[in-house]
Amino acid sequence: MATITKAAILSNVQARTSRDDLDADDIQQEIRAILYDICSRYSFLRKTSAFNISESTAYLTLPSDFIEDISVVQNSKTVLPAPSSGAGVTTFNAALQKVSMEKYLRLKDISDETGGVYTHYAVWNTVLYVYPKGAEDFTYSVSVYHSYEDDDEDNIELPECFKECIIEGVCWKVQEGFGLWGELESVEMHRKAYEQQLEILIARYKARNQGK
C-alpha cells in the first residue's frame, strides 16, 4: 500500500499554492514528471530483472521502467531441448564488464564468434547487448540489477521520507505550468525547496549504499 498518496499531495499543493480549484487530474502529469526526475537523479529504486536469451541472440529488451543498469550477471546456460534431469544446465554466476557501445561494436568487429560465457555488455536506449553471442542450441539466463522509475502516481513506491520533496516538486511544476503572473518568486521558492530536499535524500542514500 502506498504511503504517499495522490490525495495527500493534492491537499498540500492546494494549500501551498492557494489553488483550491485544483483536482487530482490537474496534478497527474506534474506528479509523473517529478517522480521521473527523482528516480533519474539517483538509483533510489532498484530491482533485479531476469531474462532468458535464446540460442545465438546477442541482445535483450529492457523493462519499460528501466532507468540505469547497475550490474549484469550471467547465471547459467542450458542445452536445448532442456533435459528433465537438469543435467544440461551449467551455472556461472559471472559478472559481465560494461563497455561503451563503440567498444562493443569494436569487439564484434574483431571477432563475432559465439561462446559459452558472456564477458561484456553495452546498453543503448532500452536494449542491452551481450558479447560474445551465445552458441546455438543453448539458452542463457541473465540477471540485470538496475534502477527503475516510480511510474504510477496512484501507487507511489518511494517511501514516506520523499513526501516533502514530491510535494514541493509538484508545487513548482504546477505554478510553472499554469504560468501564474506575479508568482515567479514563489515558483523559484518551490523549485529551490525541491532541489534542497532531493539533495538531502541523494546524500542519505549514497551514504547508505556505499559498497553496494
pTM comes to: 0.85
pLDDT tens for residues 169-210?
A: 999 999 887 765 556 788 999 999 999 999 999 999 999 988
Cell digits of residue 11: 491537499
pLDDT of the residue at 78 = 84
Q: What share of the chain is helix, strand, coil (3-state, %, to 5)?
A: 40, 25, 35
Q: CA 174 to CA 34: how far, in whole Å?
A: 11
Half-sphere exposure for 155 (CA within 13 Å, toward CB): 2
Could you state, in order of their start, the residue ranges of all structural domains in the chain?
6-43+150-208, 46-148
Residues of the chain with pLDDT under 50: 1
